[in-house]
Structure 1
Amino acid sequence: MRVKCRITYCNSSLKNPIKLTKPPRLITTEIHTLSLDEIHQLTSTMKQQISNNISSTYKINYYASYIATKIALGTGMRLGEVFGLCWDCVDLIHGTISVRRTIQTSTKGQVFQDTKTKTSRRCIPISQELQNELITYKEFQSNYAKELGDKWADSYGVVISGTFGKILSTSNFKSRYFIPILKQLGLDHITFHDLRHTHATLLLSQKINPKIVQERLGHSTITLTLDTYSHLVPDIQKETVKALDNLGI
């Protein structure tokens, strides 16, 4: 019995529908960073706010907002990572912060989520100054919790806590404790994410290896770090040439 096979030839004249579409354009946003003077203005003003409101019901909110800002500047952590930070991921003896969780806003409010990628789960060494700030803040938070007694509702041990111990709302933080200070200082073009950019820019300007900066930020690749902060690459290249000249190569 013979079986006839019909061979169908591809018609090369058929149009590829993919070629009829336009690829999405890569939209890059301008990076804003703070100078060292602006950093000191921001943090000192926020710290003064704590003193001004030390008798307020919301004193913990002012202090937590200051600490959130210090953590972002000192580690380059994202907003969700900072507000999802719990004390079990803060090593105040060895001076490290482990990024394991993030906060996502949903219909149920702010909920914890595990960090999605291997590179975003990281351990960040912190400065002695930030370490000392966290030690002092933790003691303040502990004493405040004792004052509230049963009203303190924190069962996770969150670092950036609100009035009754739960996570301070990120929108509440920005609208009441962060943006007003920026406007007061004439820095209203700055966003919280710009604190992350500031951290990276300061490190790269101090000739810190971009690979180290990548690891601190939790970027998936070194390419992403270099592309984001390409404005600093020429300075790095100049230093490379200078090093070669010093070696006589």
Structure 2
Amino acid sequence: MASISRRPNGTWQARYRAAPGGPQRSRVFTRKVDAQRWLDEVRASIVTGQYVDPRAGRQTVREYAEQWRAAQVHRPTTAAHVETMLRRHVYPSLGDKQLSAVLPSDVQALVKRLSKTLAPGTVGVVHRILSAVFKAAVRDRRIIASPCTGTRLPKVHKQRIEPLPIEAVRALTETVPERYRALITLAAGTGLRQGEALGLTVDRIDFLRRQLTVDRQLVTMPDRPPYLAPPKTQASVRVVPLPQVVVDALAAHLARWPSDGFVFTTDLGNPIRRTAFSATVWRPAVRAAGLDDTVTFHGLRHFYASLLIRHGESIKTVQARLGHASASETLDTYSHLWPDSDDRTRAAVDAVLAPAAEEHLRNGDARRT
């Protein structure tokens, strides 16, 4: 199974077979003790089941990543995102390298280079995808360890959500084409995500009970027509109460643009693509309303959340209305919008300590007189 022999030039060649009848592997060392140590490590890895064939890692990063990507159970939008991240940011520098040849320093250099042009959050996404590829390579016994372990990533500074003021929402409602005004009112009055709002169909609205059911979203992909799919997470499936202003806006919209399918469509009656909506409707409306270019459709969702919080709704209620997976997600995003407890803290301490302090002051004044 294993042997060490001295070569004519004085070096030592260590040989082994991982399995009877298997191919022979060898390595040359200057010292016999180093050859023996290497053979001992190989034997230990074979016995413990940790052995990795040195030739298994010769597949390139691109080849293995494409195999890995094809085997993943991803939503279509996620699959497209992963493909884009690998193609744009990983393959140009690491794609042609063999799996076993990629070093931690190569991954760190990639992160450093990407950090010059991409936001820290995007760099983190690229690294997570690459790390998943190499973890799979370790499980497949292509490599011994992942070169992504221990990478130092740029720090992500989470920006504080500043909800749109009511004046901005009113301005957007006025500046969008009339066909889409009810869409703005719907998003601001229910907190639906853009895909949920664009994918709303008439049969999901209960005008009598003043509520709508969110159990689908409209997905738009470059290479296929828009289609309905399950929402972002299971927690996103929910029933949302409709304020009267939203009920009235939807009723007026359907009276003018009748439909038994999608509530909101293009002038031709087709489902609305996000990119086209942003370019031809949203961005012009934002500019016409005099708002900053950074204002997105998602800002209407933040506006809705801020209204709930301002009117005393609990964390659990806000979580349920927005379809968040957990209350911690809601708090991480909107905790700064809840009224702080400074005044309540002061009042609690004053209620306990103030009477005693006042009594002490009166006794002191009496003694002085």
Q: Same fold (TM over 0.5)?
A: yes
From 341, 348, 354, the counterpart of 1:237: 341
Q: Does 1:182 align with 2:312?
A: no
Q: Does 1:74 align with 2:189?
A: yes
2:169·2:300 contact (CA, 8 Å) conserved in 1?
A: no
From 12, 35, 39, the counterpart of 2:169: 39
* Partner of residue 149, structure 1: none
Percent identity over the alignment? 30
Q: Does 1:87 align with 2:202?
A: yes
Return closer, same or farther for 1:67/1:16 CA change in 2, 3 Å cut-off. Answer: closer
2:275 alignment partner, SS class: helix
- Cα offset, 1:17, TM superposition: 6.7
1:119 alignment partner, SS class: helix
* Partner of residue 203, structure 1: 308
Q: Does 1:134 align with 2:250?
A: yes
- Cα offset, 1:238, TM superposition: 4.5
- Cα offset, 1:218, TM superposition: 0.5
Deviates further, 180-189 or 85-94: 180-189
* Partner amino acid, structure 2, of 1:98: T
Answer 1 or 2: higher relative contact order, Cα 8 Å, separation at least 6.
1
Return closer, same or farther for 1:172/1:44 CA change in 2, 3 Å cut-off. Answer: same
* Partner of residue 214, structure 2: 99
Q: Does 1:193 align with 2:298?
A: yes
- Cα offset, 1:22, TM superposition: 3.3
- Cα offset, 1:116, TM superposition: 4.5
1:74 alignment partner, SS class: helix
- Cα offset, 1:24, TM superposition: 7.1
| Structure 2 unaligned residues grouped into runs of 5+ | 1-42, 49-144, 353-369
Number of residues of Structure 1 aligned to a counterpart in Structure 2: 212
From 214, 221, 225, the counterpart of 2:319: 214
2:174·2:181 contact (CA, 8 Å) conserved in 1?
A: no
| Structure 1 unaligned residues grouped into runs of 5+ | 1-6, 51-62, 146-155
1:96·1:123 contact (CA, 8 Å) conserved in 2?
A: yes
2:214·2:236 contact (CA, 8 Å) conserved in 1?
A: yes
- Cα offset, 1:31, TM superposition: 2.6
* Partner amino acid, structure 2, of 1:39: V
- Cα offset, 1:40, TM superposition: 1.9
Structure 1 length normalisation: TM-score? Answer: 0.73
Q: Distance in 1 between matches of 2:347 and 2:201?
A: 43
2:234 alignment partner, SS class: coil
* Partner of residue 66, structure 2: none
Return closer, same or farther for 1:41/1:227 CA change in 2, 3 Å cut-off. Answer: same
- Say what the alpha-carbon RMSD is for the aligned residues: 3.1
2:173·2:185 contact (CA, 8 Å) conserved in 1?
A: yes
2:164·2:303 contact (CA, 8 Å) conserved in 1?
A: yes
Return closer, same or farther for 1:141/1:19 CA change in 2, 3 Å cut-off. Answer: closer
Deviations 1:125-184 (Å, cap 9, x if unpaired)?
Answer: 010111111111111112xx7xxxxxxxxxx70011112222122222221222112111
Return closer, same or farther for 1:159/1:244 CA change in 2, 3 Å cut-off. Answer: farther
1:207·1:236 contact (CA, 8 Å) conserved in 2?
A: no
Matches within 5 A, 1:117-128: 117-128=233-244
* Partner of residue 22, structure 1: 152
From 272, 283, 288, the counterpart of 1:168: 272
Deviations 1:157-214 (Å, cap 9, x if unpaired)?
Answer: 0011112222122222221222112111221331101111111112212221121111
